[in-house]
Amino acid sequence: MTSPRFDRTHTDDLMEFVAVSPSPYHAAANVAARLDAAGFLRLAETAAWDDGVGGRYVLRGGAIVAWFVPEGAEATRGFRILGAHTDSPTLRVKPNPDTGAAGWRQIAVELYGGTLLNSWLDRDLGLSGRIVLRDGSEHLVFVDRPLLRVPQLAIHLDRQVNEAGLQLDKQQHMTPIWGLGKVDEGALIRFVAEEVGVDAAQVAGWDLMVHDVQRPAYLGRDGELLASARLDNLLSVHAGLAALLAAAHDGVPHIPVFGAFDHEETGSESTTGAAGPLLETVLTRIVSSRGGSLDERARAFADSFHLSSDVGHAVHPNYVGRHEPGHHPVPNGGPILKVNTNQRYATDARGRAVWAAACERAGVPWQTFVGINSMGCGTTIGPITAARLGIETVDVGVACLSMHSSRELCGAEDPHLLASAAAAFLES
């Protein structure tokens, strides 16, 4: 049975958020819409920023940074930052998308991020992202019905597949089909333009990707698990937003900030990635718009802390030996603190203390993840922002199975426990 602390409302809402956020652009736009509803004001990066107190945010492509300045906050007031990322491994449409072979119409795709290729086989895929018109206007694209499929080769034509393992050539074998007939140049963009309701001749650029149209679902005998696409890392984006909204009130001792960045799966180095200047610029402008100097900015940064949240590995029952034997995070055991002394995670003793205190205040149990020495360790935005801003950082998240699969799995209680701990952190 699921425990009484299980807040199904939060997980239900996460499932809806993931379902309507197939691309980073949708995720950022959906966060913005929820911030609008909560009374936050969107600031233009090209405009002068007011010195007003209250909730504000900046939206740039697939990234968003939101914050709340409490009444009376002086220029040296430090930040409590919750960081996450909006992107997930997927297949993305190439510049000349229309291709095909043997009477099939296909779409040429690039592999985005460290995707588990096999997880995209034989799934009903939709299409999403954005197009930009000649006049510079941007339109979101969301075709949420079975449109594409990467068909696996039948076992009769690949007799050794179960013994030798599935071998997928990244260029040859991952091209989705989307119909029958001769290759029709321009067909995909004409189709997308029609879906969006614009003139195809006006489409000047596109960032398009596929997604599994299957909705998130509770799984398991007692429904204590959550099966879903993009838990990495929309789970943290959703939790971070909930935490910011909970912490956005006068009397909060620091300035709570929520940042969700794009391009983590490819190393974060972009104008909207965590390695870019977006967060630093926003934090600097929050200080300077209240009359703060460079010296006061340095004082505010020195009084700041960053909680970087991303998924981690739960112990896999069929591969227990791949996990560090003394550290076995389990689903619904609470969010995880992620440790790697080689700085793949930014956590240190001070960070651990901050995290433990936040969890204690929230009444949230937590676990520790550390990798096994015989294997490399993943990383996330924590070490990147720590190095860039010099702000103390701790890496946390939720333990899951099947990370980077098109459909991942985690405990259904953990998202709410993470959000509760994150809110306690932002309010500290």
Where do contacts with Zn ion occur on this chain (CB under 5 A)?
232-233, 310
In whole angstroms, the minimum distance from the beta carbon of 362 to Zn ion comes to 23
Q: Using CA atoms, how far apart are residues 369 and 345, in angstroms rounded to an integer?
A: 10
Tokens at residue 130, please?
Answer: 């954005």
One-letter identity of residue 66: A
Q: Which is nearer to Zn ion, 98 or 310 (CB)?
A: 310
Q: How far is the CB of 130 from Zn ion (least distance, A)?
A: 21
* Nearest to 331, CA basis, from 428, 256, 223: 223
> Could you tell me if 56 and 43 are in contact, meaning their C-beta atoms sit under 8 angstroms apart?
yes
Q: Between 61 and 83, whose beta carbon lies closer to Zn ion?
A: 83
Task: Determine how many CB atoms are found less than 10 A away from the CB of residue 266.
Answer: 14
Q: Which is nearer to Zn ion, 265 or 427 (CB)?
A: 265
Question: In terms of CB distance, is 106 or 379 closer to Zn ion?
Answer: 379
Kindly tell me which of 212 and 310 has the beta carbon lying closer to Zn ion: 310
How many angstroms separate the CA atoms of 206 and 200, rounded?
12
Taking the complex as a whole, the smallest distance from the CB of residue 274 to Zn ion amounts, in Å, to 11
Q: What is the DSSP string of 152-184?
A: PPPGGG-TTHHHH-----TTTS---EEEESS--
Contact 308, 387 (CB under 8 A): no
CB 230 within 8 A of CB 310: no
SS3 356: helix
Between 243 and 300, whose beta carbon lies closer to Zn ion? 243
Q: How far is the CB of 135 from Zn ion (least distance, A)?
A: 35
> Do the Cβ atoms of 423 and 415 come closer than 8 Å?
no
Of the candidates 97, 91, 196, which has an alpha carbon nearest to the alpha carbon of residue 143? Answer: 196
**21's tokens:** 């956020």
CB of 311 to Zn ion, least distance (A): 6
Q: Is the CB of 207 or the CB of 232 nearer to Zn ion?
A: 232
- Shortest CB 378 distance to Zn ion, Å: 8
Shortest Å, Cβ 37 to Zn ion = 27
CA distance 280 to 208: 28
CB of 85 to Zn ion, least distance (A): 6
- Retrieve residue 53's tokens: 């107190």
In the bound state with Zn ion, the residue whose beta carbon lies nearer, of 70 and 83, is 83
28: its two tokens = 């950022």
How deeply is 93 buried, as exposed, middle or buried, from its count of CB atoms within 10 A (0-12, 13-18, 19+)?
Answer: buried
